[in-house]
């Protein structure tokens, strides 16, 4: 396992100055080394969140290096040869070259999905203002890159709420392991499997939206296009450096094939667009393909910390109480505080929730769960400090002063987009209703359990 983890996140000893800034942000103390000496990542501890990649300030002064050295480094990192950005010591080894090859040869039917946080960060790669909301330009760019179907992870986020909300209600009303933990963040799931194996049963059995989308693409989506699942190449564009690890898990083959074939970060999508010579800022606004590109505001806010909880409350409240929320905006779960507690009065019972930003902030709560003293029913945990908008695969802020503004603007853009959308609750999404009627049956049913749920287990 350690070797596999280091394939994704690495620290180049030739470039590392030993400043130890990476130590300050690593949520699991996985970085080892003396001050002033090259640092190393302990693969057994690393959860691949990529926060070390975001904060690293040690880079190559490439004007002092020869061209062959630089090309070698770029290829080791699976980056395009023409990239002229600095090469930082802490880096992510991605899938840019593999996806580029597939798009060039057109020997597979390609489907692509885009996480909610991508649409508020991608434009920064092209000099546009921090937090610019660009879903239409992003869809247009992906179409020009040659993807056959441009779908959206937000659709699968709505699907996640249908399943996760139903699972929570079942655990509350029929008996089940409580409190229930969200399972959307793969770094958080890996942390529980590695460090708190006795609490694995508290994780929701739901797959993440990325993996739900992958399974749906190669089954329901394949049927829509009359394409065999084996001939589909499914790509996910993610803000997270741990998503490649998640896609490669052995259990993520519900469609009969690897459900997600490759994951690109926001930065890697930027490389593809630049290398193709696409004028991103000048692109028209285009729509995602239907039906798997239609989403609600609830699915959209998965990109911010507290978003999964708010989306779940918006639907679960109505499922339990039979009446709408007084306000669709559940502002009590929003914010950047490490731990936020909220009690929702849902008629038959009070739903006690906890939202956690940053992995280190969850440790004391996990101890209360172990001791049987947890005073909450449902907990959302995001490994990265502001949720997915601050993921390790997002555009890197070269000036630390820009970081707070970037996170603030990205977050506000997602909430603004939520307000603009026709549907703001996952269960209102008409295409979600259709996929259940035509294919899945019902939440927690046989087909949805087979494709959309999994079992997590302690690491061996």
Give the whole-angstrom CA distance, residue 164 versus residue 171: 10
Catalytic residue among 73, 137, 190, 243: 243
Q: Which residue has the tokens 């249908």?
A: 162
Catalytic residue among 388, 428, 431, 448: 388
Catalytic residue among 163, 164, 268, 431: 164
User: What is the H or E stretch that residue 211 is in?
Assistant: helix 209-216
Per the annotation, the verdict on 7 as an active-site residue is no
Per the annotation, the verdict on 204 as an active-site residue is yes
Give the whole-angstrom CA distance, residue 164 versus residue 301: 16
Per the annotation, the verdict on 167 as an active-site residue is yes
Catalytic residue among 16, 114, 184, 185: 184
Angle (CA) 294-298-302 rounded to 5° is 100
Catalytic residue among 124, 125, 167, 428: 167
Per the annotation, the verdict on 375 as an active-site residue is no
Handedness of CA 433, 436, 438, 439 (dihedral sign): positive
Q: Which of 154, 144, 149, 155 is nearest to 225 (CA)?
A: 149
Per the annotation, the verdict on 164 as an active-site residue is yes
Contacts of 366 (CB under 8 A, 6+ apart): 196, 199
Catalytic residue among 32, 76, 198, 251: 251
459, 185 Cβ separation under 8 angstroms: no
User: What is the H or E stretch that residue 111 is in?
Assistant: strand 109-114
209, 156 Cβ separation under 8 angstroms: yes
Give the whole-angstrom CA distance, residue 55 versus residue 73: 20
Per the annotation, the verdict on 14 as an active-site residue is no
First to last CA, the chain: 9
Give the whole-angstrom CA distance, residue 207 versus residue 303: 16
Rounded to 10 deg, the angle between the 96-105 and 266-275 helix axes is 40
Catalytic residue among 193, 246, 336, 431: 246
Give the whole-angstrom CA distance, residue 128 versus residue 107: 34
Per the annotation, the verdict on 64 as an active-site residue is no
Alpha carbon of residue 43 to chain centroid: 21
Catalytic residue among 132, 166, 183, 204: 204
Per the annotation, the verdict on 251 as an active-site residue is yes
Q: Which residues are catalytic?
A: 164, 167, 184, 204, 243, 246, 251, 388
């Amino acid at each position: 396992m350690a070797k596999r983890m280091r394939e994704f996140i690495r620290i180049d000893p030739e470039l590392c100055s030993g400043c130890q800034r990476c130590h300050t942000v690593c949520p699991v103390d996985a970085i080892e080394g003396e001050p002033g000496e090259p640092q190393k990542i302990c693969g057994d501890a690393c959860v691949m969140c990529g926060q070390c990649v975001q904060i690293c300030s040690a880079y190559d002064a490439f004007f002092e290096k020869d061209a062959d050295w630089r090309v070698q480094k770029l290829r080791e990192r699976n980056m395009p040869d023409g990239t002229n950005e600095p090469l930082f010591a802490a880096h992510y080894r991605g899938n840019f070259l593999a996806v580029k090859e597939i798009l060039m040869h057109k020997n597979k039917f390609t489907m692509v999905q885009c996480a909610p946080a991508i649409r508020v960060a991608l434009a920064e790669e092209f000099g546009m203002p921090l937090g610019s909301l660009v879903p239409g330009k992003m869809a247009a760019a992906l179409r020009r890159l040659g993807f056959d179907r441009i779908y959206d992870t937000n659709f699968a986020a709505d699907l996640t709420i249908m399943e996760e909300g139903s699972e929570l209600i079942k655990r509350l009303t029929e008996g089940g392991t409580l409190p229930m933990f969200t399972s959307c963040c793969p770094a958080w799931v890996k942390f529980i499997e590695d460090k708190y194996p006795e609490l694995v049963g508290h994780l929701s059995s739901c797959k993440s939206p990325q993996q739900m989308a992958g399974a749906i693409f190669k089954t329901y989506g394949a049927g829509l296009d009359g394409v065999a699942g084996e001939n589909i190449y499914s790509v996910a564009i993610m803000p997270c450096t741990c998503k490649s690890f998640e896609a490669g898990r052995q259990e993520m083959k519900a469609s009969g094939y690897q459900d997600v074939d490759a994951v690109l970060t926001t930065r890697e999508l930027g490389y593809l667009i630049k290398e193709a010579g696409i004028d991103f800022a000048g692109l028209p606004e285009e729509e995602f393909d239907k039906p798997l590109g239609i989403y609600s505001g609830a699915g959209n806010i998965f990109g911010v910390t507290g978003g999964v909880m708010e989306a779940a409350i918006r639907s679960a409240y109505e499922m339990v109480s039979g009446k709408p929320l007084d306000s669709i905006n559940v502002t009590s779960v929003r914010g950047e505080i490490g731990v936020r507690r909220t009690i929702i009065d849902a008629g038959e019972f009070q739903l006690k929730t906890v939202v956690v930003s940053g992995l280190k902030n969850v440790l004391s709560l996990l101890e209360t769960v172990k001791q049987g003293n947890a005073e909450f029913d449902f907990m959302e945990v995001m490994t990265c400090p502001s949720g997915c908008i601050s993921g390790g695969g997002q555009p890197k802020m070269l000036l630390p002063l820009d970081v707070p503004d970037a996170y603030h603007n990205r977050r506000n853009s997602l909430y603004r987009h939520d307000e603009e959308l026709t549907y703001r609750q996952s269960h209102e999404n008409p295409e979600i209703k259709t996929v259940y009627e035509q294919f899945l049956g019902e939440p927690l049913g046989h087909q949805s359990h087979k494709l959309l749920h999994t079992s997590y287990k302690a690491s061996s």
